Amino acid sequence: MKLIFLGPPGAGKGTLAAKAVEIVKVPHISTGNIFRAAIAAQSPLGLKVKSILDSGALVDDATTIDLVRERLAQADALQGYILDGFPRTIPQAEALAGFSGPDKVVNFDIPDTAVVKRLGGRRTCRQCGANFHVVFGPPKQENVCDHCGGELYTRDDDREEAIKKRLEVYREQTAPLIGYYRDKGLLADVDARPAVEAVLENFRKIL
Ligand code: AP5
């Protein structure tokens, strides 16, 4: 099964993907997580993209497409994937269609007000990338990851100014993908407003 998780920043794509992999048994591939790991490792890719991520803008299509093409060629992704955060532009979607097009695109539907609350309280693990929320999904121990014991931090792009920018970028460059995939008969809408378990149930229904 090849799935794309589409939706605005903070819709819960990463949170749901971490649970959905248990159901669909394919790898969760997040371009945001790949970029953040490169930044943490101070690799050439990380040095190139750090200021772009911090500002809330998008990394250029060529870099991102090459990255995903290489990742999808790895053995674990040959049977399928959950792509979270890719594609984010029409050229990215067209490129993906050329090397491994999706079976279904799940569109996480949520208003901006909810997004701001979710991103404002998000805490992310430095080691494994797991997400928590100070109110909606706190870790068992403050600032410590339940899964690997890593330190939790607030992402640089979860500042108010960067959230605003990311929502603008989403509207201009990514939201057109909703119509693009609807026209191809691939889109399924999921109401992303309820609590995580209810969103997971909505996801099961559309599978
Ligand atoms: P990326 O990491 O993909 O960020 P994003 O799309 O903005 O998505 P987020 O990770 O912010 O949100 P999410 O929907 O996964 O929500 P989450 O599950 O964490 O990209 C970061 C940057 O990388 C981009 O800005 C860009 O610069 C670059 N980039 C990445 N891909 C690119 C591409 N294809 N092209 C170009 N550039 C690219 O949930 C958010 C919070 O809400 C958490 O705290 C969570 O605990 C909580 N929560 C989740 N679900 C619920 C729920 N149902 N109820 C209550 N709380 C919930």
What are the boundaries of each domain within the chain? 2-206
**What is the rounded distance in angstroms from the CA atom of residue 123 to the CA atom of residue 30?**
17
Gap between the Cα atoms of 76 and 51, Å rounded: 31
Q: Is 46 in the pocket of ligand 1 (CB under 6 A)?
A: no
- 3-class DSSP assignment, residue 10: coil
Q: pLDDT digit of tens for each residue in the chain (207 aa)?
A: 999 999 999 999 999 999 999 999 999 999 999 999 999 999 999 999 999 999 999 999 999 999 999 999 999 999 999 999 999 999 999 999 999 999 999 999 999 999 999 999 999 999 998 999 999 999 999 999 999 999 999 998 998 899 999 999 999 999 999 999 999 999 999 999 999 999 999 999 998
Alpha-carbon dihedral sign for residues 28, 32, 36, 42: positive
* Pocket of ligand 1 contains residue 15 by CB under 6 Å: yes
Q: Is the peptide bond before 87 cis (omega within 30 degrees of 0)?
A: yes
Mutate to test the pocket of ligand 1, among 4, 13, 197 (most ligand atoms within 8 A of CB): 13
What homologous superfamily does CATH list for 2-206?
Answer: P-loop containing nucleotide triphosphate hydrolases (3.40.50.300)
- Ligand 1 in contact with 124 (CB < 6 A)? no
Please give the pLDDT value at position 166.
95
Distance 131 CA to ligand 1 centre (A): 9
Cα separation, 134 vs 106, whole angstroms = 26
Distance CA 57, CA 114 (A): 21
Tell me the residue ranges of DSSP E strands in the chain: 2-6, 28-30, 81-84, 104-109, 122-125, 131-133, 152-153, 187-191
Single pTM value for the model: 0.95
Q: How far is the CA of 15 from the centre of ligand 1 (A)?
A: 9
DSSP state of 79: T
pLDDT at 45 (0 to 100):
97
Residue type, 197: E
| Distance separating alpha carbons of residues 184 and 159, to the nearest angstrom | 36
Structure-token pair, residue 64: 């991102």
**Rounded-to-integer distance, Cα 151 and Cα 156, Å:** 15
Helical ranges in 56-174 per DSSP H = 61-72, 90-100, 112-120, 160-169
Structure tokens that stand for 152 in this block: 């939790």
List residues with catalytic annotation.
13, 88, 122, 155, 166
Q: Residue 38 has what DSSP assignment?
A: H
State if residue 107 touches ligand 1 by the CB under 6 angstroms criterion.
Answer: no
How many residues in total does the chain contain?
A: 207
8 within ligand 1 shell (Cβ under 6 A): no
